[in-house]
Structure 1
Amino acid sequence: MSQLFRLIFRIRNFLLFAILELVSFWLLVKNNHYWDVSFFNTSNYYAAKTLESSNYVKNYMNLGNINDQLIAENAQLKKAVATMQSLKPREGEYYKVDSAFARRFEFKVAKVVNNTVGLSKNYLTIDKGTLDGIEPGMGVICPQGVVGTVMQCSEHFSRVYSILHSESKVSSEVKNTTLRVKNDKALGIAEWGGLNPKIINLNTIDRFKPIKQGDSVVTSEQNVIYPSGTMIGKIRKLSAKQDQAFFDIEVELATDFRNLSYVYIVNNKLKKEQDLLEQSTTEEKK
């Protein structure tokens, strides 16, 4: 304490000067209208700037919560869109979709905690597991498009093999105006070639189908894992030789696997029923 008093005593002249300066400035502002207005405007300007900066920092710190809310809302929107698409007549006006079939898809949000893209068999790890109702065989998508399929689950995590996997196959369909006008379909199988994580191959598309570069490739209705119409990518290159029955097609993926943060796990509530029926039919044939 004595050291503090000695310090104050040593700088007493400076402190007296600073106090007198402040008093002089205050008297100048209060007794001069121009200075009073200028000080008021200047102080308001810097107060507003300080408040703006403070609000910016608060909003930035709250971005995580806002992002989580938007992701959850998107999951609900995807469920609504999948239901609406399923309710559309597929075989003519006489066809009526069963409501249970139309509402078979449910979506849950998960965060990607690990991801590979440079291997021949690539995987993701997400932060949802059996305690969250996740099971092997469920599909995984993101806002841009298809991601992969759940392979294995623990209580809190799940392992997903992405479509950048040598054994992954996705039932796909090419969409364009010409096909829609002709009421025609161009169905194929999307498989990764194992080289470029931005490109996937589309096989078994009849080379006489009216498709072209830039057409959209989506999941087909012959799919129990993903909702039909989920984006896969756009045709980047296609070619066919005279003796070939099918196109050689390269598709530029819509999903950027190098920058995956959040995904949606897709639960088809009718998948087990369909699998059991198809399995029993297969066993009968044997």
Structure 2
Amino acid sequence: MTGLHFEQRLRDLVGRKQVLLSDIWGVVHNGLESFPEACEALHRFRHEGGTVILITNAPRPADSVQRQLRKLGVADEVYSAIVSSGDLTRHYVADHPGGKVFWLGPERDNSIHRGLDVALSPLEDASYIICTGLYDDETETAEDYRPMLLRARERKLPLICANPDIVVERGDRLIYCAGAIAELYRELGGEVIFYGKPHRPIYDRAMMLAEQHAGRPIAREEVLAIGDSVRTDLAGAHGFGIDCLFVTRGIHSEEFAGVEQLDPASVKELFGHPPRALMRELKW
């Protein structure tokens, strides 16, 4: 295993890569503002003939993600398509029509069940749980849900996690996501089905769209993933057999503050399976 240093420009890394599978939150924006240089980098890659698929653990369908991106000033031309964990969760619900669902998450995520044949029910009557997040991610943690999860475990309810992230950035703070609740439920002995990174279905969907845009099959060697999470982006890329550019401005920013280069021991400790390269923030 070799050491890693910080690269400055995406254009020096892409080489023969034809597809970028880019994370959104932490790479393109932080929940409150977009990162213009990252948007320009993705746009330039597309201008050079590449395909950019935004791949996100947002617990909302792609059209809702697109509306948020537009509000933050991210132009449609920055990317070719969006794949979200919310889309995959909706596919699960559509494949189980007429079910009674206990929905756990904030009201802003109501698009997760919009237009589907599903009845929202109390926990005591539900067939399964859809978790898109915490009711109040400004003040709550997963531990606040322990009593509820214990009741769900007693009923042997599957929990469908629509966002495997544990935390994400919101401005300069970290807030808890659905993945924190899902991991606690799994620790308590509950059954959890995850949709999103690092799990394979979201990568399969992204590659299908990439090949549609390219008009031909795409080899793994032609793909570069970009993300800011060891647990989701890096692990997902490694599991799918593609290179990963790790951006450190996101949820791991404090761990890399003041670091200019990583020796092999540090690479193994921080990453396990190392990324292809490091960047502070995405720039062309």
Judging by fraction of residues, say which structure has more strand: 1
Q: Do these two structures clear the TM 0.5 threshold for a shared fold by scoring above it?
A: no
TM-score of the superposed pair, with normalisation by structure 1: 0.24
Higher gyration radius (CA): 1
Using CA pairs under 8 Å that are at least 6 residues apart, name the structure with larger relative contact order, 1 or 2.
2
Instruction: Give me the TM-score of the superposition, normalised by structure 2.
Output: 0.24
